[in-house]
Structures are given as C-alpha cells and as structure tokens.
Amino acid sequence: RFQIQRGKTDPTSYKSLGDCFRTIFQREGLLGFYKGILPPILAETPKRAVKFFTFEQYKKLLGYASLPPGLAFAVAGLGSGLTEAVVVNPFEVVKVTLQTNQNAFTEQPSSFVQAQQIIKTGGLGSQGLNKGLTATLGRHGVFNMVYFGFYFNVKNVLPVNKDPNLEFLRKFGIGLVSGTIASIINIPFDVAKSRIQGPQPVPGEIKYRTCFKTMATVYKEEG
C-alpha cells in the first residue's frame, strides 16, 4: 500500500514505511497485513513453474543463436519474466484491489467475489482482470533478465568451493546480490503497476492509464 499513496495531499498518505505499518494495524488490525493473501498463494506454484521451465526453454532456443553465454542468460531471463507476467497479472489485479480496501479484513469480499466483480465491471481485458499488464511485463521481465543474467554470470566467474558450507554461502551471496540489484532496477515498474491497478485519485477519472505515462506522472509530481 505504501506504493499507492500519492503524495502528502493524499488523505491516505503515510509518512514512512513504519507509519504505514502502524496505521494499518491501528485501523484494520493484524489481519489487515494479510489482505489479498490468497491470490499470490494460488499464483505461486504456476508462477515458479513457468519461470524456471520457460527459462530453460528460452536458454535452449538461444543456444542455436550463438550468443555469448552472459547475454543468452539475460535474454532467456527476460523471456521467462514476460511469460511469467502473463500468468500472474490477473492474480495481481485481485490482490492489489483487496489490499487497497481499507475496511476491516472481515468486511471485505473474498478473492473469488472480488475477481467476479472485476470481471463484471471491467471484463477480462485492460480495464478488468488484465489491467496493468504492460507494467507487470516490465516488472517481471526486467527482474528476471537482471537476476538470471547476473546470477549465472557471476556464479561462473567465482570458483566453486569444496567446503559445502562455504559453497552454500557463495550461492546464497550471489543470489542475494542478484535479487537486490534486480529489485532496485525493476521497482519503478512495480510502482507503476500498483498505481494502475489500485484506486484512482478521483473516482470515475483514470489518471494512471499506461505504464510509461504513469512513470512519467509519478516522476513529475513526486520525483
């Protein structure tokens, strides 16, 4: 929810991440932190399956293109991220809608009822269950491109350690750095996705419509 606020004039503005946690706890209780938990749980298994299966398939296809290994890993990661985004985006729309509902946890609709309402009012396209797809494509495509490209290139450069504990730390460290860098680079897409899929500032008026226009608006108004 911290990404969806729109500056200090927003009545739901949070002063900091800590203030956001405190406010949600005070207004909505402990269960307020678990709004929208079902969609990501339902999406997690197909998401992981698609991510790693398609990464391997794209990597095999790129093997015929005689690309340098580093570039092949990055492009395969991009392809897997774009494919993954198509699968998870409907779940993200339902999740964000539930998370931005400031009623008590027990008062909000279930994930399935919310999904039916989204389909009823907006359909299955860009105004409904696939709202913000371009931003989700950017979020997952950029993340996987950077993550897989960095992880496999660095892993192949740093020597394997015979000590299993040190080898675990080597892989853990590379994965941690890869994920951190990928998150830093892809976060603008995540903010754009949240703004597009979340409630608009003025009811009935669409301010955040497309990925890059949303990015430009956020940059212009909020830095």
pTM here? 0.83
- Looking at the fold, whether 72 and 29 belong to one and the same domain comes out as no
192, 214 Cβ separation under 8 angstroms? yes
> What is the domain extent for residue 6?
1-35
State mean pLDDT over 111-136.
92
Reported residue count of the chain is 223
Spatial distance between the Cα atoms of 138 and 185, rounded to a whole number of angstroms: 10
Which tokens hold the place of 106? 């027990």
Q: Where are the beta strands (DSSP E) in 9-160?
A: none
Strand partners, 144: none
98, 35 Cβ separation under 8 angstroms? yes
Domain count, the chain: 2
- Looking at the fold, whether 55 and 104 belong to one and the same domain comes out as yes
CATH number (domain holding residue 90): 1.50.40.10
- Looking at the fold, whether 26 and 106 belong to one and the same domain comes out as no
Task: Please give the pLDDT value at position 129.
Answer: 92
- Looking at the fold, whether 17 and 112 belong to one and the same domain comes out as no
**DSSP-assigned letter for residue 33:** G
- Looking at the fold, whether 20 and 120 belong to one and the same domain comes out as no
What tens digit of pLDDT does each residue of 169-223 get?
999 999 999 999 999 999 999 999 999 998 888 878 889 989 999 999 999 988 8
- Looking at the fold, whether 64 and 30 belong to one and the same domain comes out as no
- Looking at the fold, whether 21 and 129 belong to one and the same domain comes out as no
Spatial distance between the Cα atoms of 113 and 62, rounded to a whole number of angstroms: 42
In whole angstroms, how far apart are CA 160 and each of 31, 151, 154, 179?
44, 14, 11, 20
What tens digit of pLDDT does each residue of 16-61 get?
788 888 888 888 888 888 888 888 888 888 898 999 999 999 998 8
19, 28 Cβ separation under 8 angstroms? no
Which tokens hold the place of 105? 């946890």
